[in-house]
Structure formats: structure tokens, C-alpha cells
């Protein structure tokens, strides 16, 4: 077994680490308070190529592979989670359908714009009646000649307000649904009948917006079906394959945040004095640090292994769900322990710990709840 991270990825990792320290961390609190990322920082992310991590070089991306992408996310999530979110949906679930199943024309048209960061992509699956039960979407696309007429309402769509392109899942055959009756469309901002609705109010992840997307007799040429005519009805499979990858990278995001919380906790425990000595000398605090470090170590090994498997071309449905489940649950336990080690200060908005605690709570929900991950894992384990 070779546990070395390739030199090129290590260099990328160091570049991102420096970028986080120099450009992102100093404004992490500002992003929290203003609920927005300054445009000049988004431009710096473009300049670093962060919008094209997963996109092949022929389309202007960095083509880092799954492991490379995970390493970048791990660094980026050591600061305000909104920064990763700004590029993550575009690199991941927003554009992956086009990368996996799009026609040559769609790839030529959209991937270079997404890779450069000129365009942001989002992924529109969730609806009020279709959260975990993704197959129950009500948004419908009815064919009229060479056009589909899209009607419905999506919600909780990350980056919906800044997206120039949305991967939208809609029912094209009510009887068949998940097996031949759901189609993925590439819908451009500005298409008549497509509007952004309410920006939803959330517990955390300020600086990254989730929105409603509304489709009101939105007419789309068949050419906007991701994958073209032959992919009509095949969108659920596309969405699930997109989510497999998304779930792996969510593991990396949770891991980065957990590592940051451990680092902060160790520093704090060494300098915080109570009863005449640093609290790091107390066994109860040591136990918490030891558990945090051990879980992070385990999470990192499974994440890198699953990412490596995917880069070898292996199917990682089960592993991706295991990574999402373990890493996000682990990070929430770590966040809880970090708040405990920081005590009253961990509950204060003056320090980043309480922000991590709130932001991480979402990780167990979006891109598939922990319960859905267990369902997928159990199905894969018991499959004949």
C-alpha cells in the first residue's frame, strides 16, 4: 500500500492552505456577519482555478481527481464553510451531471464557463414533498414537439441565487418515475419562466444561500436534456451518480472542519488555566482530545481510501455513503466536544467554535441524511 499523497496534489494542498490562512480566514467573521462573500474573494477563487477542480483539462479545469478534490475541500473547510460551498456545488453536484452524462455539445458549451468560474452551477432536486424521497418530485416536464414545458418549485437549492446554470430534475413519466420517468435538464438563468424565489433563512452556513427555484411554463428545447434525447427518463440515475460523488466530498468537508476544531481545542486546552494549571493536564479534557483525534484519524483513512477507489474507476456507492455517514457524524461529535473544552467561550460568537457547531449540523442532513446513507449502505450490503 502506498500512503504517499502525490507531489502535485501536495503542492495544491499547500497552496490552498496558504490561501485559507492569508485570504479567507481573516474575513471569515465578516462573511458570517454580512451573509455574503466579497466579490473580490470569489475572483481570487476563480484565479486559483477552484471552480474547475473536477473538470477535465480539455475544458479548462484542473482535473484533480476525487482524492485531489477531497484534499482541497479538507483545507477549505478549516475556515468559514461558505467559501467551500461557493465553489463546491459548482464543481460537484451542479455540473457533474453534465460531465458524466452530458452530450459533447453540452460539455463544450458549459464546462469551460463553469471551470473558469465565469458561471456557477447548482443542483435542483429537492422539493417540499421530495427530500429523502427524491423519487417523489412533483416538478413536471411535459413534451410538446421538440420542447419540454417545465412547471414546479424546488427548494433548499444551494447557490440558487448566484447560479447561471441549474441541473434540474423533473418528472417526464409519472408511471415510471425513478425507473425511466425522471429527466435531468440544464436550465440557464434568464430562461423565460425560470425565476429564483425566496432565499431561505437558516441556522448556519451564512454567506452561502439556499433558495427556491420556480418554473412557470418554462420552455426548454430537447437539447437541454442532459445527455440529449437518449437520456430522457434517465435523470434519476444521473442524479444518484452525482450524489455518490457529492457524498464522498461532503466527507472531506466534515473532516476539514473537525481537524480545525481539534487544532483549536488543543491550543486552547494548553493555554487555558484553571485550578492553577492548563486544562490540557486534566484527564477529562485529555480524553476528549484523544477521542477527537482518533475519530479524525479513522475518518481520514476511509475518506482517502474511498476517493482513491473512485479514482481507480471503482463503483463506490456503499463507500461514499459510509464516508458521508461516518465523517459528518464524527464531525458533529467533535464539534460538541470542542464546545465543551472551550466551555462558556465555546458558546460565544466571539470565537469560531460556535459557528462550526451550527454549520456542521447541516452536514448530517444535506446531500442525503444520515438515515438515507444507512439505507443505501444496508441495501448494498444485502444486495444479492
Q: Does 202 bind ligand COS (CB under 6 A)?
A: no
Q: Residues in contact with ligand COS, total (CB under 6 A)?
A: 23
Give me the least distance between CB of 178 and ligand COS, in Å please.
4
Q: What cell numbers appear for 267 in the block?
A: 491550543
Query: Are the CB atoms for 48 and 41 separated by under 8 Å?
Result: no
Q: Does 244 bind ligand COS (CB under 6 A)?
A: yes
Give me the least distance between CB of 126 and ligand COS, in Å please.
5
Q: Across the strands, what pairs with 83?
A: none
**Would you give the DSSP letter of residue 135?**
G
- Part of the chain binding ligand COS (CB under 6 A), chosen from 8-16, 159-167, 217-225, 366-374: 366-374
Nearer to ligand COS, 349 or 379 (CB): 379
Site string for ligand COS, 299-328 (x = CB under 6 A): ------------------x-----------
Q: Which residue's entry shows cell 483525534?
A: 293
Q: Three-state DSSP class for 280?
A: helix
Give me the least distance between CB of 365 and ligand COS, in Å please.
8
Looking at 122, 150, 367, 377, which residue binds ligand COS (CB under 6 A)?
367
Give me the least distance between CB of 130 and ligand COS, in Å please.
8
Q: Does 368 bind ligand COS (CB under 6 A)?
A: yes
Give me the least distance between CB of 209 and ligand COS, in Å please.
14
Looking at 164, 196, 366, 377, which residue binds ligand COS (CB under 6 A)?
366
- Part of the chain binding ligand COS (CB under 6 A), chosen from 110-118, 140-148, 282-290, 364-372: 364-372
Give me the least distance between CB of 242 and ligand COS, in Å please.
9
Site for ligand COS in 124-143 (CB under 6 A): 125-126, 132-135
Report the DSSP pairing between strands 273-274 and 277-278.
antiparallel
Site for ligand COS in 74-93 (CB under 6 A): 93
In 3D space, the residue among 40, 50, 47 whose CA is nearest the CA of residue 88 turns out to be 50
Q: Does 100 bind ligand COS (CB under 6 A)?
A: no
Q: Across the strands, what pairs with 186?
A: 167
Annotated catalytic residues are 367
Nearer to ligand COS, 160 or 352 (CB): 160
Task: Determine the Cα–Cα distance for residues 131 and 127; give it in Å rounded to an integer.
Answer: 6
Q: Does 179 bind ligand COS (CB under 6 A)?
A: yes
Q: Does 96 bind ligand COS (CB under 6 A)?
A: no
Q: Does 213 bind ligand COS (CB under 6 A)?
A: no
Looking at 240, 266, 309, 345, which residue binds ligand COS (CB under 6 A)?
240
Task: Determine the Cα–Cα distance for residues 203 and 362; give it in Å rounded to an integer.
Answer: 9
Per CB under 6 A, residues contacting ligand COS are 93, 123, 125-126, 132-135, 178-179, 236-237, 240-241, 243-244, 317, 366-368, 372, 375-376
Amino acid at each position: 500500500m502506498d500512503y504517499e499523497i502525490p507531489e502535485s496534489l501536495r503542492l495544491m494542498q499547500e497552496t490552498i492552505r496558504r490561501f485559507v490562512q492569508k485570504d479567507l480566514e481573516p474575513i471569515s467573521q465578516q462573511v458570517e456577519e454580512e451573509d455574503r462573500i466579497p466579490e473580490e474573494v470569489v475572483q481570487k477563487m476563480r484565479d486559483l482555478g477552484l471552480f474547475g477542480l473536477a473538470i477535465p483539462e480539455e475544458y479548462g479545469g484542473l482535473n484533480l481527481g476525487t482524492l485531489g478534490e477531497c484534499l482541497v475541500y479538507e483545507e477549505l473547510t478549516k475556515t468559514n464553510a461558505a467559501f467551500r460551498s461557493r465553489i463546491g456545488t459548482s464543481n460537484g453536484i451542479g455540473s457533474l451531471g453534465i460531465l458524466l452524462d452530458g452530450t459533447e455539445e453540452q460539455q463544450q458549451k458549459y464546462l469551460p464557463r463553469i471551470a473558469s468560474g465565469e458561471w456557477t452551477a447548482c443542483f435542483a432536486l429537492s422539493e417540499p414533498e421530495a427530500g429523502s424521497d427524491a423519487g417523489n418530485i412533483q416538478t413536471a416536464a411535459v413534451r410538446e414537439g421538440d420542447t419540454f414545458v417545465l412547471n414546479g418549485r424546488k427548494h433548499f437549492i444551494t447557490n440558487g441565487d448566484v447560479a447561471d446554470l441549474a441541473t434540474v430534475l423533473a418528472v417526464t413519466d409519472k408511471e415510471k418515475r425513478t425507473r425511466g420517468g425522471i429527466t435531468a435538464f440544464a436550465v440557464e438563468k434568464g430562461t423565460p419562466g425560470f425565476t429564483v424565489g425566496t432565499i431561505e433563512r437558516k441556522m448556519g452556513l451564512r454567506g452561502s444561500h439556499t433558495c427556491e427555484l420556480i418554473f412557470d411554463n418554462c420552455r426548454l428545447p430537447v437539447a437541454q436534456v442532459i445527455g440529449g434525447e437518449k437520456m430522457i427518463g434517465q435523470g434519476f440515475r444521473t442524479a444518484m451518480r452525482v450524489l455518490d460523488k457529492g457524498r464522498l466530498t461532503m466527507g472531506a468537508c466534515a473532516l476539514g472542519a473537525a481537524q480545525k476544531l481539534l487544532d483549536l481545542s488543543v491550543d486552547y486546552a494548553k493555554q487555558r488555566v484553571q485550578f492553577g494549571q492548563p486544562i490540557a493536564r486534566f484527564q477529562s479534557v485529555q480524553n476528549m482530545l484523544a477521542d477527537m483525534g482518533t475519530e479524525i484519524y479513522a475518518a481520514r483513512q476511509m475518506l482517502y481510501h474511498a476517493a482513491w477507489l473512485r479514482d481507480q474507476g471503482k463503483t463506490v456507492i456503499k463507500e461514499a455513503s459510509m464516508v458521508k455517514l461516518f465523517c459528518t457524524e464524527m464531525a458533529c461529535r467533535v464539534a460538541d466536544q470542542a464546545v465543551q473544552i472551550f466551555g462558556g467561550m465555546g458558546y460565544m460568537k466571539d470565537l469560531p467554535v460556535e459557528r462550526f457547531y451550527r454549520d456542521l449540523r447541516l452536514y448530517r442532513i444535506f446531500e442525503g441524511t444520515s438515515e438515507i446513507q444507512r439505507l443505501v449502505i444496508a441495501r448494498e450490503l444485502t444486495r444479492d
